[in-house]
Structure 1
Amino acid sequence: MTITQDQKKEEAAVLEVLEGVYNAWNDGDADAFVAEYLENASSILPGVYMKSREEIRAAMGHSFAGPLKGTRAADEVLDVRFLNDEAAVVISRTGVLAPGETEAPPERTVFATWVLAKRDGKWLLAAYSNSPSVRPAGRPM
């Protein structure tokens, strides 16, 4: 299948949203982190469900001031799929790097699912979920 210029442009626009999220993470800026989230966006992390942009912003603000202070996120996009002209899914592997690290250890690496929706010509995050990239010992698939 040949990818058209329009498809390449849309994929670049989707990935730009993720880049903005990670730039905000690296700056420790919770407001910028959620700038391209829908108001009713959701986020699921192990043991945590947030159901609005404000809940996500508050949680990230707390984290950037505490356990994530000074960390950086390293993201590797594994797959980008368009469900239609206004919905996309991105799968990535993300590692949280402590100050001075160049590679995240397995216990700070996750697989993430990003769901984006196009609103008024702009891609925005509708949902995010992640899961540890390493399966606990003895746990079946």
Structure 2
Amino acid sequence: MGSEYSAEAVQAVQAVFDTMTATWAEADAARFAACYSDEATVIGPGILLRGRDDISRSMAAAFAGPLKGSLRPHTTQSVRFLSDGRNAIVVTASETVLPGEAATPADRKHLVTWFLARHDDRWLIEANHICQA
């Protein structure tokens, strides 16, 4: 993972996913969406969200409805920094765990490709694409 960059650089990118996991568990749509840039794109099965506001609205509805009490852990598979060091491509194995589940069914296990960009001193998600694992 990110062998040409320092462990600190990889940890800074990983912190975005730690924040997303925590804010999902707290059902905090605004803080969750703050991990994304203003014009971010989210694409997945039946999903196309454009912009931080759209992501926040969608997550607020999901946290109040079908995803209430759920968890969304992300296990980083790879981190690759682009040549400028201000952009990164991350692949995660991610799953949505509903309350009371002992195991996550296959249809809620995903591989996700993320594109992150450094904005001043902060990494933000510019785009992600979700597919079945």
Same fold (TM over 0.5): yes
Larger Rg: 1
Higher relative contact order, chain-length normalized (CA < 8 Å, sep 6+): 2
In the other structure, the counterpart of 1:116 is 116
The runs of at least 4 consecutive aligned structure 1 residues that moved more than 4 Å come to: none
The aligned runs of 1:100-111 (5 Å cut-off) are 100-111=100-111
Q: Report how far residue 95 of structure 1 moved.
A: 1.0
Query: How high is the sequence identity, in percent, across the aligned residues?
Result: 32
1:42 matches 2:41: yes
Structure 1 residue runs without a partner (length 5+): 134-141
User: TM-score, length-normalised on structure 1?
Assistant: 0.87
Distance in 2 between residues matched to 1:104 and 1:132, nearest whole Å: 13
Aligned length: 131
Distance in 2 between residues matched to 1:123 and 1:26, nearest whole Å: 21
RMSD: 1.6
In the other structure, the counterpart of 2:59 is 60
Secondary structure, in 3 states, of the residue corresponding to 2:25? helix
Secondary structure, in 3 states, of the residue corresponding to 2:73? strand
Distance in 1 between residues matched to 2:10 and 2:49, nearest whole Å: 26
In the other structure, the counterpart of 1:28 is 27
* Amino acid paired to 1:25: W
Q: Report how far residue 15 of structure 1 moved.
A: 0.4
Structure 2 residue runs without a partner (length 5+): none
In 2, are the aligned partners of 1:115 and 1:125 still within 8 Å (CA)?
yes
